[in-house]
A = this chain, B = another copy of it.
Amino acid sequence: MEPKILTDTAGILKNIPRTGWLQRGIPPSVAETVAEHSFEVASILAVIAMQAEGRLDKEKMLIMGTIHDWGEAVAGDIPRSLTNRLGKEAKSRAERRIMRELSTVSGFRILSELFEEYEGRKSDEAIVAKIADVLSTLRQAEAYSARGYNVGDILEGCKRELTALIETLKNKDLRKVVTGLM
């Protein structure tokens, strides 16, 4: 096992601003980093974990929230404008390939499995982790909007995506917990 490969990879994200903000005029010295965003995702999931009851595998959900952007240390933060051109499929394929590679060189097979589950929205845990991802983005977009940055398309996109994601949650109690965070 080479756990340091993973922590070094995560460490790089402390230095990567999110491309979507940069493209909309938020200066690099100001824009949220991927690490800051991922911390907010983890915080939202911690709040959900402290509240939710029942059959949720909280450990899995918390880990998915923390690792979901590790691949960006290798790929950079691929913006939606590129994803739209490559196709969502190609982007997902590239990120899954990177995570498999990280799995192999570090010896953590579980890493790639968790990412596949997350990326495929294959469980309520994966869906909630994705909801936290979108919710964190939405909040940051609201803050930038108040300062005069033109991030309207991200705001709208996040709202639509949240509505769609919540509908796919099977666990009704979980839906309520998540809705309480909006």
- Which A residues are closer than 8 A to B by beta carbons? 1, 3-4, 6-7, 10-17, 19, 22-23, 25-33, 35-36, 38-40, 42-51, 58-59, 62-63, 66-67, 70, 73-79, 81-82, 85-86, 94, 97-98, 101, 108, 110-111, 139, 143, 146-150, 180-181
Contact in complex: A51, B108 (CB < 8 Å):
yes
Q: Kindly state the separation between the CA atoms of A122 and B30 in the bound complex, as whole angstroms.
A: 39
Contacts of A149 in B (CB 8 A): 147
For the complex of A and B, the 9 pairs showing the least CB-CB separation, nearest first, are A29-B29, A10-B43, A147-B148, A28-B28, A39-B39, A14-B36, A35-B39, A62-B62, A19-B76
Question: Roughly how many angstroms separate A75 CA and B78 CA in the complex, as a whole number?
Answer: 7
**Contact at B85–A66, with CB atoms within 8 Å?**
no
B6 touches A43 (CB 8 A): yes
- Closest beta carbon of chain B to A52's beta carbon, Å: 11
- Residues of chain B contacted by A27 (CB below 8 angstroms): 15, 29-30
Number of copies: 6
CB of A31 within 8 A of CB of B28, answer yes
Contacts of A6 in B (CB 8 A): 43, 47
In the complex, A97→B66 CA distance in Å? 28
Contact A82 B73 (CB under 8 A): no
- Which residues in B have their C-beta under 8 angstroms from that of A19? 16, 76
Would A180 and B3 count as touching, CB distance under 8 A?
yes
> Once the chains bind, are B108 and A50 in contact (CB under 8 Å)?
yes
**Given A28-B31, A74-B85, does the pair A46, B66 have CB atoms closer than 8 Å?**
yes
Chain B contacts for A23, CB-based, 8 A: 12, 15-16, 73, 76
Kindly report which residue of chain B lies nearest to residue A45, judged by CB atoms.
Answer: B66
A39-B35, A85-B94, A148-B146 known; A1 vs B59 contact (CB < 8 Å): no
